[in-house]
Amino acid sequence: MTVHSVPLKGWVRTKRGINALELHIMSLRYDLDGALEAGQHGLAWWAGQNVLTAAVELSLAEAGVELPAQEDPVERACAALDALRRTNPELAGAAWELWLRPQPPDAEIRRGLDETLAFVEHRLGLPWVVSRQQAVLRWAAGTSVLRAVAKQLGMAASEDWYVGASDTPDLDWYGEIVATLEAENRR
């Protein structure tokens, strides 16, 4: 075993970027699930395509690949796929193939989205992306660690950043999220 010690501020900066991507993917999962249920297939396809490109970006970030800052969403996604191509051209080619697919007819949209999510799960190695609840938990767990470390550095913002549900006063924010998801599962 070797010890790999890194400067704390740099670690926090990297994790903040990862946490922002996890939050983005979480919001896309809400979009995707809600749109499918409502028959808003254009929105569902848009969300699936954005899950794909955000997942590529996240997998690179977790591997320590730093991408240039890009405000434009298309350029950011292209930069991520370009970076992936340099390390794994076959994987990047498969991601491009999925990204270039046009929206399927309504009857085939779930299958098309399943193929995209299967790629994210198995090829990019992000299994939590396939479920909205798991995406929420992933974001919450990352946020919990990040806030604890940021607090150590005196960087954490105020404690009222989480809007708690009024009927769970005895739980901390993370415990409340877990309880909320468990309640949804029981329904």
Partner 1 sequence: MTRAQPRTPGAAWTGLLPAGLGQDIVDEMGAYLERVPDGASCVATGSLIEGFGNANSDIDLYVIQPSGSTSVNPIAIGIRESRYVDVEYLGPAGLHRLADTFRDTTLDEVPGALTLRDFDRYYRLSVAARLKVTEEAEAVLDRCSVERAGVYFARWSLAQAAAYLSRATVARALGDVPRAVVLTRQAAAWRATSQLAGDGEAYPRLKWVTVKAARRYGADTPGYRSCLEGCDVTPGDLAAVLTALRARVAPGAAADGDGTPWTLADGVTAVPHGDAAHLILGRKAITRVDGLVLMLVEALAEGDPWAAAVKRTAEQLTVSSRDVLTTAAPLMRELADAGYLASGNDGDR
Which residues of the chain form contacts with partner 1 (CB under 8 A)? 27, 30-31, 33-35, 37-38, 40-43, 46-47, 50, 72, 74, 77-78, 96, 99-100, 102-103, 132, 136, 140, 157-158, 160-166, 176-177, 180-181, 183-184, 187
Is residue 122 within 8 A of residue 12, CB to CB? The reply is no
Nearest residue (CB) to partner 1, 32 versus 120: 32
Nearest residue (CB) to partner 1, 125 versus 162: 162
Nearest residue (CB) to partner 1, 70 versus 125: 70
State the nearest-atom distance from the C-beta of 174 to partner 1, in Å: 10
Nearest residue (CB) to partner 1, 88 versus 180: 180
d(CA 152, CA 155): 8
- Determine which helix (DSSP H) or strand (DSSP E) holds 166, and give its type and residue range: none
CA 70 to chain centre: 18
d(CA 173, CA 6): 29
State the nearest-atom distance from the C-beta of 62 to partner 1, in Å: 22
d(CA 37, CA 132): 13
Among residues 99, 70, 180, the alpha carbon closest in space to that of 136 is found at 180
Residue 107's CB is within 10 A of a number of other CB atoms, namely 7
State the nearest-atom distance from the C-beta of 61 to partner 1, in Å: 21
d(CA 123, CA 56): 10
- Helices 109-118 & 41-62, crossing angle to 10 degrees? 0
State the nearest-atom distance from the C-beta of 49 to partner 1, in Å: 9
State the nearest-atom distance from the C-beta of 178 to partner 1, in Å: 10
Nearest residue (CB) to partner 1, 58 versus 136: 136
